[in-house]
Structure 1
Amino acid sequence: MRRIGFVCNPIAGMGGRVGLKGTDGKVEEARERGAEPRAPERATEALSALRERTTDVELLACADPMGASEARAAGFSPEVVYEPSGEETSAADTRAAAREFLERGVELVLFVGGDGTATDVAETIDERDGGTPMLGVPAGVKVYSSVFGVTPADAGRIAASFETTEPREVSDIDEDAYREGEVHTTLRAVVDVPVAEALQSSKQLGGGSVEGLAAAFAEEVEPGTTYVLAPGSTVGAIEEALGVSGSPLGVDVWRAVPESEAADSRAGREAERGELLVRDGGEREILEALGDRNVIVVSPIGGQGFVFGRGNQQLSPDVIRRCEVEIVASRSKLDTIGVLRVDTGDPDLDEELRGWTRVRVGRVERRMMQVV
């Protein structure tokens, strides 16, 4: 029987859909913006997949709101070995729970959260023995580390059946700098993680010029169309070509001028190319700004291949369903990826998005890529 310690960071990812790019120190602001917990649902999804794969598991868990109810909802009768100290949980609770698991000789620490939670678990393991494997259920806004399953269900299946482990990196970023448009990544730990194909890679930056791609895209915008511009440097190059003063790491909404105004411009009268409706918006602002025809412009994360579900949770299932999707990327970035991935939090939508799609890689060139 495999003994697994399970801990859920209940506030992980709350800031994503409301445009906060992280929840560290921003829980109250996220709630004021209407954010709802994301981690509990993903915890249940992971544990349900674990139980479907095997019942030969002794699950050690934390009292609510750190996982006990989700474990029971998935069909487990967990042994509760840690109780949070207050109404609001903290990194100290995650670390204390991990220490309890290690004291009881778990064979795996399965956690739900993002890079901050991964750091807490990894550093606790390193303090104790450095040899107990860990595995993440992705729920955070920023997921740069390579210790997570591609989806919650993948993490559950891996936890049920892994046989060997390998060293992988835990990285984290400065959220305050991230909110200002700067990415400062720090390697926090190297830990043992189950070996499996359904693990995400660590984030890498794709190289290559995207100037031609951006210029051509700007030339071809359709009058009256609303463009939802996702985070990242490739889409940022498109914004620059459009003359949009957008947010480097946020989601912006820009609408090309209607046909009548475009005609005025062609006739020699001044007219703006378009209007920035939302800068660095959350899900609610994006939905309110959408028009009759909407196009999400998004670039996959280098090294990982995620199109939705990592760093752009503002692009919620409701937003995606109201939009066409245009994927753009440099050739060099696609060469490091192999396939594209989605993790929207809606399994039905993920399934709709899977399959072969065209990715714009140049002025006129497209490359066929598979979304898995």
Structure 2
Amino acid sequence: MGGPAGLRGSDDPKGRALAQAEGYALTAAARVSSALKPMLASSDSWQWLACAGDMGADLLFELGFQRIRTVYTPSEPSAAEDTKMAALALQKEGVDVLLFAGGDGTARDLLDVIDKRQVALGIPCGVKMHSGVFARHPLAVQEILQKIQAKTLVTALSAEVRDIDEAAFQRDQVVTRYYGDMLVPDDLRYLQSTKVGGVESEALAHQEIAADVIEQMQDDVIYFMGGGRTVAAVMATLGLPNSLLGVDVIQAGVLLAANCSERALLSWAQRGSCRIVVSIIGGQGHVFGRGNQQFSPTVIRAVGIDNIISISTKTKLQSLSHGIIVDTGDAELDQALVGLRSVCTGYEDAVLIQWVTT
């Protein structure tokens, strides 16, 4: 209602009450409805985790969705703090995509609390929408979500969250201020960044993946480098020898140990912060459990599932008829690893794909 009422948003309870008193209605519900209605045809494929009442659940039931579970009950009337608490509750449940309706103010609230690895997508409903985290149109939302559900490769973007600089606005200047980045899905045309004659060049893709991984490396972190040609390209770019079918340990551009056993990796894991760099096995599509058993459940837990860097060419991912398969031999760990995850596919380029057990 903020836009029709001439407000810069609807977060302020006083402004919202005034707009309601003057007869302005909430418009977000209508825009969310238009975004989600096309998904009713495949409603059995979706499990919705939502906030109670008018923060989500009521509208989902009204639209006709059945698989709905509420995970947070907001205050009445709801406020920005409810947005933050709801986001934390949804993230704790491990949602694949945190779908929200609003504008820049809502995006900032989410940015304050969600993990940088949490995928989010905004349905454009606000007054101020300078951020890059919103779908181009409500109808584009279902297109993106349907692609994720169908296990089609979807590009993962680090999009800016921006909002009006209030100090500049008081001087009659419309200037946006950068607040941070949020991971969002997008329906870009894939293979765009590493095309040669319309087909992805594996050599060029490997170069770009290596450049991205190396740029993100930190000197105080130990890296367990898995097997395969994609990881080998990272090692070659660093000028280091590589155990093509083994696991090497590096730090600050120096090879610390080669072809390590599970026991050796556990020893290194006890010395400081570690990360696993692992490639996807082409054709089979496994990330753990095939050819890299050195990454045992004990090693993976010691490193931490949030410290896994998965890399692959897009051509390899597109050849999979399913998601990326996790088979660590530990059912509990497998379940902790499944879900929508980001895979590095080039320089500042990644796609979202499901990790599955079957």
Given the two structures, how large is their TM-score scaled by the length of structure 2?
0.47
Structure number with the bigger relative contact order (C-alpha 8 A, sep ≥ 6) is: 1
**TM-score, scaled relative to structure 1:** 0.45
